[in-house]
């Protein structure tokens, strides 16, 4: 199932396949003079029993090849900044082991590549938000509150990433954080995850962002004992940069999604 709408510059993509949804966003840019969408809304459904989003076979590999050619990170590496899926699996799907192990290994990541990681990661902000004297594991708070009783206040199930004490800086360019906020809504159909971005890089980050948000949603749904139903991503300014919109390989990638439609 796929739905597309555009009005006054805004774009809303509704799809049950991650690869096709991303390709539709890129195609919109290619078919219009601007290199950005303001705002962009993506509503993604279509998840397997483990919460993994539907994808076109081989699509992410082709996108990875394109990213690697231009010295950018693979989609899985970008997704890992939002949710460390493999680490969770190695922890036996034990969330408390995951929290502890991630906090330890992230210090190693920071030491290894301080330029890339010194401001934190999305998952690190979600489980260690605040300063050294006052930190909160927002994900654990949400899970424990949701599981502790019925009728939890809906506004309780939200988490912040943007921290004004750390992120209100005058730096000309700031790569992190682009995602500002998340909320989680248990429904009769399953868990709905909402993610809010101020800006987003459509070529180098968006696919990995969407994958990571879906995987985080699958983790939260698992811990709440409900299925993952929908992921909504709201982007204030979605930009296609670092690659020409008429790049032949990029066009071929969009065509691959259309071919598999």
pLDDT one-digit tens code per residue, 84-133: 999 999 999 999 999 999 999 888 776 655 566 567 799 999 999 988 78
Please give the backbone phi and psi of residue 184, each rounded to the nearest 5 degrees, phi first.
-130, 130
Nearest to 240 by CA among 212, 206, 210: 206
Name 7's bridge partners.
10
SS3 (DSSP) at 40: strand
Asked if CATH classification 3.30.70 holds for the domain at 11-258, the reply, yes or no, is no
Q: Measure Cα distances from 217 to 58, 134, 153 in Å.
A: 23, 26, 19
Q: Are strands 10-15 and 40-44 parallel, antiparallel or unpaired?
A: parallel
For residues 72, 205, 125, 198, the Cα torsion angle rounded to the nearest 10 degrees is 130
* CB-CB neighbours of 224 under 10 Å: 18
Reply yes or no: is the peptide bond before residue 177 cis, omega within 30 of 0. Answer: yes
Q: What is the pLDDT of residues 223-234, one digit of tens each?
A: 999 999 999 999
pLDDT of residue 7: 46
Reply yes or no: is the peptide bond before residue 134 cis, omega within 30 of 0. Answer: no
Q: Please state the rounded mean pLDDT for residues 22-47.
A: 96
pLDDT at 180 > cutoff 80: yes
Q: What is the number of residues in the chain?
A: 261
Alpha-carbon Rg for the chain, nearest whole angstrom, is 18
Domain boundaries in the chain?
A: 11-258
Please give the backbone phi and psi of residue 54, each rounded to the nearest 5 degrees, phi first.
-60, 135
CB of 173 within 8 A of CB of 156?
Answer: no
Q: Please state the rounded mean pLDDT for residues 256-260.
A: 81
Q: What is the pLDDT of residues 36-81, one digit of tens each?
A: 999 999 999 999 988 899 999 999 999 999 999 999 999 999 999 9
pLDDT at 9 > cutoff 80: no
């Amino acid at each position: 199932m796929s739905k597309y709408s555009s009005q006054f510059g805004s774009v809303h993509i509704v799809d049950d396949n991650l690869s096709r949804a991303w390709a539709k966003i890129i195609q919109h840019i290619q078919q219009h003079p601007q290199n950005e969408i303001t705002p962009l809304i993506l509503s993604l459904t279509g998840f397997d029993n483990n919460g993994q989003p539907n994808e076109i076979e081989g699509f992410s590999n082709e996108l990875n090849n394109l990213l690697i050619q231009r010295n950018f990170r693979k989609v899985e590496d970008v997704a890992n900044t939002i949710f460390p899926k493999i680490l969770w699996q190695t922890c036996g799907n034990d969330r408390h082991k995951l929290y502890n192990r991630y906090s330890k290994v992230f210090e190693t990541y920071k030491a290894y590549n301080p330029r890339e990681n010194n401001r934190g990661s999305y998952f690190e902000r979600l489980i260690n938000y605040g300063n050294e004297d006052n930190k909160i594991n927002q994900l654990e708070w949400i899970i424990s509150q949701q599981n502790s009783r019925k009728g939890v206040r809906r506004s309780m199930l939200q988490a912040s990433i943007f921290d004004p004490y750390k992120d209100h800086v005058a730096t000309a360019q700031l790569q992190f954080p682009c995602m500002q906020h998340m909320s989680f809504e248990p429904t009769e159909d399953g868990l709905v995850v909402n993610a809010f971005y101020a800006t987003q890089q459509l070529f180098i980050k968006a696919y990995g962002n969407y994958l990571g948000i879906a995987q985080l949603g699958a983790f939260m749904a698992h811990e709440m004992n409900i299925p993952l139903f929908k992921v909504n991503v709201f982007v204030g300014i979605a930009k296609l940069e670092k690659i020409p919109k008429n790049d032949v390989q990029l066009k071929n990638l969009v065509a691959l999604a259309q071919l598999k439609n």
